[in-house]
Amino acid sequence: MDKLIIEGGSPISGTLKISGAKNAALPILAAALLADGPVHIHNLPHLNDITTMITLLRCMGCDITIDEKLGVEIDPRSVNDLTAPYELVKTMRASILVLGPLLARHGVANVSFPGGCAIGSRPVDIHLKGLEAMGAEITIDEGFIRARTNGRLKGANIVMEKVTVGGTENLLMAAVLAEGTTVLHNAAREPEIVDLAEFLIAMGAQIEGVGTDTLRVHGVSRLNPCTFTVMPDRIETGTFLAAAAAARGKVRLTHTRAGILDAVLAKFEEAGAYISCGDDWIELDMKGNRPKAVSFRTAPYPAFPTDMQSQFTAMNAVAEGKGAVVETIFENRLIQVHELNRMGANILLEGNTAIVTGVEKLKGAPVMASDLRASASLVIAGMIAEGTTIVDRIYHIDRGYECIEEKLRQLGANIRRVPG
């Protein structure tokens, strides 16, 4: 297994280009299954999760051409296997996102049950209840979700009992080809859902209320080929900002959007960062100052994202003062604090709250990555620690960060990958 070796303490400054958003690209790739011809998708990030989704679509029979310049062309007309196998689903929970499109387009779907992961139990009951309300018959058999429908799915009035990103995406993708109108209440409003909706609209879907918590979808009988560019990754953006803030540095990020990071940028300002933004760039400058610890609570968009919690916890670890971090979305998403404490952090865990008292310096140590964003927090910690940090199990980080060590080296970090 590859490891990252980081010599801490290098000054951090420079300019970086942000990649396309993993969490928008994954549902958009799944939604390509709905089209009646080839779709062209640009700005897909080079990530293991994207490769997994492309492999999954190919297994189902999609004809896929990848061109570095022209993007990815997906022709779903040749789909002949309506199964998402365990081998792929177990490496990426977002495989569940093919359920809605397969059912809507082909009337049958067999998707391996995704199960939980390091960050929590992550059930999919709301996805399944919504599809049943649209007329699907669903059974769980040999670890598979087996869904079928007699004719087209039917429009329905669906109240989702929790705000779920994946649930909203699956039901939205199912509803666009259903017969009649579907109303999704208590929908998630994440920018990646807006991007997915814009992709579906570009294919001819009729969706009202995009960006709100009520999506009204008038089903159409077919969706057309289209060309689409994936939005920038707001979590990659926030992660590099957090690295610069923790290191008292300065960074300019291009090909991104400030408007999708309001809650995060407000917390950086509270931590003492000077933020300036343009149409497609964000600059953060600590002017050499130590960050101030901030308190926050994760919640669905537009509130503070759970996917930025661990990076802020790493910044708080070396900040001035004390911050309370409350994780409300996933029950296990504070596990990285144990590794941060091994590096000399002072973090007290009380249920779903981490009380972080900033220390002057962290000390390098061998640490173990347990999930994607936890890994990012350990890399940030390694960059600001005294001495050497070795981050093991970095396959997690490769799921969601494109060439992270190359990008961080561009900012001045002393970081290298060693094959394991």
Ligand X SMILES: CC(=O)N[C@H]1[C@@H](OP(=O)(O)OP(=O)(O)OC[C@H]2O[C@@H](n3ccc(=O)[nH]c3=O)[C@H](O)[C@@H]2O)O[C@H](CO)[C@@H](O)[C@@H]1O
Ligand Y SMILES: C=C(OP(=O)(O)O)C(=O)O
CB of 78 to ligand X, least distance (A): 26
Assess contact for 78 and 62: CB atoms under 8 A: yes
Rounded to whole angstroms, how far apart are CA atoms 233 and 420?
A: 29
CB of 312 to ligand X, least distance (A): 14
Instruction: Give me the least distance between CB of 278 and ligand Y, in Å please.
Output: 26
DSSP state of 33: G
- The nearer residue to ligand Y, 4 or 94, going by C-beta atoms, is 94
- Using CB under 6 A as the binding rule, the residues of this chain from 255 to 274 that contact ligand Y are none
CA 57 to chain centroid: 19
Name the helix (H) or strand (E) containing 63. Answer: strand 63-67
Question: Residues 102, 175, 215, 372: which binds ligand Y (CB under 6 A)?
Answer: 372
Within 272-311, the residues that bind ligand Y by CB under 6 A are 307
Identity of the residue, 124 or 294, whose beta carbon is nearer to ligand X in the bound complex: 124
Q: Does 23 bind ligand Y (CB under 6 A)?
A: yes
Shortest distance, CB of residue 168 to ligand Y, whole angstroms?
A: 13
Nearer CB in complex with ligand Y: 92/103 = 92
Q: Is 170 annotated as a binding residue?
A: no
Catalytic residue among 59, 62, 117, 226: 117
| Exposed / middle / buried, residue 277 (Cβ in 10 Å: 0-12, 13-18, 19+) | middle
Listed in sequence order, the residues at least 6 apart from 115 whose beta carbon sits closer than 8 Å to its beta carbon are: 90, 93, 122
253 forms bridges with which residues in the sheet? 16, 282
124 binds, among ligand X, ligand Y, none (CB under 5 to 8 A by kind): ligand X
- In the complex, what is the shortest distance from the CB of residue 188 to ligand Y, in angstroms, rounded to a whole number? 13
280 binds, among ligand X, ligand Y, none (CB under 5 to 8 A by kind): none
Q: Is 329 annotated as a binding residue?
A: yes
CA gap 391, 376 in Å, rounded:
10
Q: Which is nearer to ligand Y, 95 or 149 (CB)?
A: 95
Interacting partner of 400 out of ligand Y, ligand X, none (Cβ under 5 to 8 A depending on kind): ligand Y
Q: How far apart are CA 207 and CA 197, in angstroms?
A: 7
162 is in an annotated binding site: no
Q: Closer to ligand Y at the Cβ: 203 or 241? A: 241
Which residues contact ligand X (rule: CB under 6 A)? 23, 26, 94, 120, 122-127, 162, 164-167, 188, 306-307, 329-330
Query: Any binding-site annotation on 307?
Result: yes
Could you give the string, one character per residue 84-123, with x where binding to ligand Y holds by CB under 6 A and - elsewhere? ---------xx-----------------------------
How far apart, in Å, are the Cα atoms of 331 and each of 7, 124, 328, 344?
A: 32, 15, 7, 24
162 binds, among ligand X, ligand Y, none (CB under 5 to 8 A by kind): ligand X
- Choose between 306 and 313: whose C-beta lies nearer to ligand X: 306
117 tagged catalytic: yes
Helices 125-133, 99-106: inter-axial angle, 10-degree rounding: 20
> Please, what is the minimum distance in Å from the beta carbon of residue 97 to ligand X?
8
Phi, psi (deg, nearest 5) at residue 13: -160, 155
Residue 216 binds which of ligand Y, ligand X, none (CB < 5-8 A, kind-dependent): none
The answer to whether the peptide bond before residue 291 is cis (omega within 30 degrees of 0) is no
Give the DSSP letter string of 188-239: ---HHHHHHHHHHHHTT-EEESTTSSEEEEE--S-B---EEEPPB-HHHHHH
Binding partner at 126 among ligand Y, ligand X, none, C-beta below 5 to 8 Å by kind: ligand X
CA terminus-to-terminus distance, the chain: 4
Dihedral angle at the C-alpha atoms of 215, 218, 220, 223, nearest 10 degrees? -30
Give the DSSP letter of residue 303: S
Binding residues for phosphoenolpyruvate: 22-23
Binding residues for UDP-N-acetyl-alpha-D-glucosamine: 93, 307, 329
Catalytic positions, please? 117
